[in-house]
């Protein structure tokens, strides 16, 4: 049991990160050895690291979180029965038997207690039986009794042959007694390093005596003019080995967890479906069975399409939290070797982005298309559905890219909204491109609105006639004339499908850049 103590800003967390191999090596000097030799290449993945904040999925049970860790971090030659046994062993050692099948909990779901939650975080690392376990202030947020219980659990792990290294802030005496050695820091300098039992004697030799009944950690921090807190831990396991899990397996496990998370925290999803259905009814009611008169037929269709596309684009502002919300979990799990960035990214796209965009769009199209009374025929309807889905996908891919690049939700939200407004301005409806100089009009090629609206116009207006009838007098205009006035090519099938291709390219391109941003994300402190 090796404790790192010191006042705030003394370098406790930095030292812990360096020892755990999670500190950016730029500017660092010195050698980090294990058993007198250099660190293995997979050192960061073979040791356990329990961060201060919770990094477990709240919608999963304790047992399911452990199974997730076991499935991705244990060697591939470990059988399912052995993984199950490992999970049961960790649950038993951590004393989590009574809450093993209880959801950990989040802002919507009532879950386990604070101490059980902390032990769950520790158990996620113990699954791989790490020879060394690092913990960053594991008693933070726990009451004194729970913190003491966690520290006793860590002591039990140490007695079974595992090295426990942790930073801690102001531990009480019962916790201090569990330490085998301590490192006292101040301003990045080592004040004392050695057995905890010799610390008081050392301070006496340099002129500082601890009063009777004074807590030694409080005394040490008083001497170095600091403050401190306690840290806790859990259970034990035999040291084991780490090996990479194949990408397919990683993809399946991450996908399964995403599906469980969506199913067990469906409030946002259900609300999105309901809102989309309500909006479809409203649009359908406003433009109900739209007529084919010369005066209003084209105008109302153009207005309906613009309103629909605007809703589909701005409705994806919610996608900005897709990565921001899980940033801490992703960084911890990725750097701990749970999965590759590619596995996480692909699972998010397949199990989160696609269904959460396709299902609401389908609900909207089925309601709105027929209420508005757009062109009959399955070909026109399914093209309408495809176009709105690609529009939604392009908008959400941009939101995903921003969420992977910006960690502050308010900033990301503002940035996305601003870009959407510019795309809307260069859609071709609000301003004619011929009136804009070439130095600026090129922005239209980046507009999701432009491609989506052009495709909807062609799908609905091409070769259609809109007439006013006054007795025997018939005054007509064809949809082709409107397309010509808007400089929208429509003579060949390619003129229609090039817009869908553009939306697809935008989606793929932005998703790819978002993936690059995830890979570039600084995961070392």
| Per-residue model confidence as pLDDT tens digits over 78-130 | 899 999 999 999 998 888 899 999 999 887 788 888 888 888 999 999 898 88
Residues 175 and 269 in one domain: no
Let me know: does 344 contact 334? Beta carbons within 8 Å.
yes
Residues 75 and 162 in one domain: yes
**What is the domain range of residue 372?**
247-430+501-520
Is 305 part of any domain? yes
Is 130 part of any domain? yes
What pLDDT was estimated at residue 228?
33
Residues 184 and 291 in one domain: no
Is 424 part of any domain? yes
What pLDDT was estimated at residue 242?
43
Is 494 part of any domain? no
Q: How far is CA 69 from CA 75, 79, 96, 103, 235, in A?
A: 11, 14, 16, 16, 16
Is 299 part of any domain? yes
What pLDDT was estimated at residue 227?
36
Residues 43 and 191 in one domain: yes
Token pair in block for residue 514: 């978002």
Is 98 part of any domain? yes
Token pair in block for residue 344: 């996480």
Q: Which of 209, 224, 239 is the last residue of a domain?
A: 224
111 Rama class: left (phi>0) / alpha (psi -120 to 50) / beta: beta
Does an H or E element contain 248, and which? Answer: helix 247-264
CA distance 298 to 312: 21
Residues 15 and 100 in one domain: yes
- Residue pointed to by tokens 């062109």: 375
- Residue pointed to by tokens 């356990």: 48
What pLDDT was estimated at residue 431?
78
Residues 116 and 84 in one domain: yes
Residues 48 and 193 in one domain: yes
Let me know: does 233 contact 138? Beta carbons within 8 Å.
yes
Residues 207 and 85 in one domain: yes
Residues 203 and 291 in one domain: no
pTM attached to this predicted model: 0.71
Is 254 part of any domain? yes
Residues 198 and 283 in one domain: no
Give the residues of the chain that fall short of pLDDT 50. 226-244
Residues 217 and 332 in one domain: no
Residues 394 and 333 in one domain: yes
Q: Which of 192, 224, 256 is the last residue of a domain?
A: 224
Q: How far is CA 81 from CA 88, 95, 250, 272, in A?
A: 11, 21, 19, 40
> What total of structural domains would you count in the chain?
2
CA distance 303 to 174: 72
Is 236 part of any domain? no
Q: Tell me whether strands 37-38 and 33-34 are parallel, antiparallel or unpaired.
A: antiparallel
**Exposed/middle/buried for residue 106 (C-beta within 10 Å: 0-12, 13-18, 19+):** middle
Query: What CATH number is attached to the domain comprising 130?
Result: 3.40.50.300
């Amino acid at each position: 049991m090796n404790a790192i103590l010191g006042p705030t800003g003394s370098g406790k967390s930095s030292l812990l990160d360096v020892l755990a191999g999670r500190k950016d090596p730029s500017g660092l000097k010195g050698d980090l050895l294990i058993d007198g030799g250099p660190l293995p290449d997979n050192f960061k993945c073979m040791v356990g690291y329990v961060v201060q904040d919770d990094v477990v999925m709240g919608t999963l049970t304790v047992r399911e979180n452990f199974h997730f860790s076991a499935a991705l971090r244990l060697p591939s030659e470990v059988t399912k029965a052995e993984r199950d046994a490992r999970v049961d062993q960790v649950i038993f050692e951590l004393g989590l038997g009574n809450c093993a099948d209880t959801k950990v909990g989040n802002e919507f779901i009532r879950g386990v207690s604070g101490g059980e939650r902390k032990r769950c975080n520790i158990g996620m690392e113990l699954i791989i039986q790490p020879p060394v376990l690092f913990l960053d202030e594991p008693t933070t947020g726990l009451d004194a009794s729970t913190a003491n219980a966690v520290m006793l659990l860590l002591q039990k792990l140490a007695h079974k042959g595992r090295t426990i290294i942790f930073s801690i802030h102001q531990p009480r005496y019962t916790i201090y007694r569990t330490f085998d050695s301590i490192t006292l820091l101040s301003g990045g300098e080592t004040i004392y390093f050695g057995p905890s039992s010799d610390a008081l004697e050392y301070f006496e030799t340099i002129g500082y005596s601890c009063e009777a009944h004074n807590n030694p950690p409080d005394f040490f921090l008083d001497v170095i003019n600091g403050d401190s807190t306690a840290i806790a831990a859990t259970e034990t396991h035999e040291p084991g080995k780490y090996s990479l899990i194949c990408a397919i397996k990683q993809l399946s496990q991450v996908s399964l967890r995403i599906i469980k998370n969506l199913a067990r925290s469906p409030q946002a999803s259900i609300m999105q479906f309901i809102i989309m259905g309500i909006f479809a009814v409203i649009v359908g009611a406003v433009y109900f069975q739209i007529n084919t008169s010369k005066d209003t037929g084209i105008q109302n269709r153009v207005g309906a399409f613009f309103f629909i596309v605007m809703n589909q684009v701005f409705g994806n502002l919610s996608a900005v939290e897709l990565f921001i919300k899980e940033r801490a979990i992703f960084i911890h799990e990725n750097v701990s070797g749970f999965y590759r960035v590619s596995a996480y990214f692909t699972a998010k796209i397949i199990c989160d982005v696609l269904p959460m965009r396709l299902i609401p769009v389908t609900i909207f199209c089925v309601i709105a298309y027929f209420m508005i009374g757009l062109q009959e025929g399955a070909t026109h309807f399914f093209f309408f559905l495809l176009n709105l889905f690609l529009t939604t996908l392009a908008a959400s891919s941009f939101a995903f890219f921003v969420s992977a690049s910006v960690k502050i939700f308010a900033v990301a939200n503002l940035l996305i909204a601003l870009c959407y407004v510019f795309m809307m301005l260069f859609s071709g409806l609000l301003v004619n491109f011929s009136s804009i100089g070439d130095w600026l009009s090129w922005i239209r090629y980046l507009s999701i609105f432009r491609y989506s609206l052009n495709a909807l116009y062609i799908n609905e207006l091409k070769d259609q006639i809109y007439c006013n009838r006054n007795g025997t007098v018939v005054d007509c205009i064809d949809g082709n004339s409107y397309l010509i006035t808007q400089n929208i090519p429509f003579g060949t099938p390619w003129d229609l499908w090039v817009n869908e291709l553009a939306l697809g390219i935008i989606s793929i391109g932005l998703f790819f850049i978002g993936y690059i941003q995830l890979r570039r994300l600084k995961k070392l402190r």
